Chain A
Amino acid sequence: MISVVVGLLLYSMAMLVAAPPLLRALTSSGNAPRLGVVTWLSAIGTVVGSWLATAVMVIVEVISHWTHPRTVAASCLARLQRTISGDAGIAPQITLVVIAAAFTVAVAIIGMRLAAAVLGMRARAHEHARAVRLVGRHTGEANVVMVEAGKAAAYCVAGRPPAIVVTSAARAALDDRQLAAVLAHERAHLAGHHAVIVSALRALAAVFPRLSLITEGAQQVSRLLEMCADDVAARRHSSRALLSGLIALCTVAPAEALAAADLAVLARAERLATPPQGSAKVKTRAALTSVIAVMAAGPLIAVADCIRRSHVWGPGMRADPNTTVGLIAAPSPSKALGHSASGKVVSMMMMMDDGHWGWGSWLLTTGTTIVFWALVITAVVLLARYLLSLSQRPTGTPRAAGASNAEQVLAERYARGEIDDEEYQRRLGLLRQNMASTTTT
């Protein structure tokens, strides 16, 4: 049981460290937005799931050993408690009560805060949808209402029934074709229940504001969901209609609007202007699929590894409650590095320590395990990307991709205001010339 808990915790720590930068790199292109959403959600889901499993197992363990406080887990916990407080006088049962109560309360509080956040968002959205229906003028189309407003905006809000709101200024800015594409985009959000995903992630981000995996995940998933909706709308109408709708609505964007620059719109526009190549899509999909596979297998491998380890060293350690604490710290990255070697290192450390496991060595082994998992995930991603880029090199796409990358960088610098109109034009012209000459030769 302890091994399982340790395995899950180590997995989740490795994910918190390694996942955000990797997933950001893999999903930023928007080549496979749906799979990108799945990847972020499974990363967050497995981490939250392993915490929940951990908490439940600790509570179950404590309760099941209630009548025998001198058993392995109890002694182990008591020993831990002694290590922290330096006080051996407290009865094990009090420690157990405190630990079980702390975990139960923590799970309950987090669960309640999540539920409150989700339900609150849902209630506000439904209220907004209802109010908009009362205030707005109904158009011929189902669920589409027009609201008088000077600001151009189009959005959808979940509710029973949901509503798609187009302001009068937006209606005036769009022609019929563009409006149809914009409405298809919003309908795709409603049909895909994107609001549910976004609210769940925002609630998690509000409860765990310091975990970049979750806060960044919430942002990236919203961005990817926009691209998913773009794809649906572009398929149903045309990417030209959608792109010109995007431009029309940006053009009438209010002068006094707030918030920081969000280049997500630019990324979406670029995707619509030059849809991702088939090969690039395949490449991203393969990379994302392998990441999902690693994340799905991760907790299982981590747990199996720890259980195996506890069997290897188990008997001797179980006999002595003092060294059982060592079990918690024992798992180390052995899969790829050869476990006999790392096993020796660990047992040597234990001997030096005379069975008394210090926090320093605990941190050391935990740290190496996190690094190990980070390396495994990175290796899989890099391998997938490398293999795919190898298979595509002969077709000449990397060069074209390089050229469009350069234009993207240029556009971003321009959008950030680092270069002015003239310089942007000049550099773009040069880049295009350069690309034309390399493709003709």
Chain B
Amino acid sequence: MRIRGFGELEAVIMDRMWSRDSAIPTTVRELLDELAAERTIAYTTVMSTMDNLHTKGWLARERDGKAYRYWPTLSREQHSARLMREALDGGGSPEVVLQHFVEQIGAEESERLRSVLRRLAQGTTQ
């Protein structure tokens, strides 16, 4: 698998970090060994990416001898839940500009809307 851009390497690293046992923090070397099985990648690239993820708040770390040991601050599920709250519930007060395919609407409204839509669909198939 080729890595396209820095963002994609971040995604790959986070994916690895989440699939590891979070009770045992990971060093850059350990992760590099895992990644090197599938691709050629420099130690410094992985190190700077993980450092970057740490400054952005995705990874926490503590010093262990000369190296750092990293672990995810939140689980993938926790991040997903936060992002979906932001996207679907209008998030906090500062909104994010998103183009929803269907805007979120109330339960009662959506029930009425559904029946009308179903009839419209029937109208097109007839």
Contact = CB atoms under 8 A, between A and B. Distances in A.
Contacts of B2: none
B97 A264 contact: no
A147 B95 CA distance: 20
B11 A411 contact: no
A257 B101 contact: no
Given A135-B83, A249-B102, A202 B77 contact: no
B114 A257 contact: no
A251 interface: yes
Contacts of A202: 95, 97
B contacts with A: majority SS: helix
A262 interface: yes
Nearest to A168: B80
A94 B5 CA distance: 59
Interface residues of B, number: 48
A159 to B, nearest CB: 9
A131 B79 contact: yes
Interface residues of A, number: 71
Contact of B96 (A121, A167, A255, A274): A121
B105 A128 contact: no
Given A121-B96, A135-B79, A266 B113 contact: yes
Given A128-B96, A154-B100, 16 more contacts: A125-B97, A134-B10, A135-B80, A153-B88, A153-B101, A155-B99, A157-B97, A225-B99, A229-B99, A240-B124, A243-B117, A243-B121, A249-B102, A250-B117, A262-B103, A262-B109
6 tightest Cβ-Cβ pairs between the two chains A and B: A261-B109, A154-B101, A253-B110, A189-B99, A273-B120, A155-B100
12 contacts: A128-B87, A131-B83, A133-B10, A133-B11, A154-B102, A202-B97, A250-B102, A250-B113, A250-B117, A254-B107, A265-B103, A411-B119
Interface of B: 5, 7-8, 10-11, 14, 58, 76-77, 79-81, 83-84, 86-90, 94-110, 112-121, 123-124
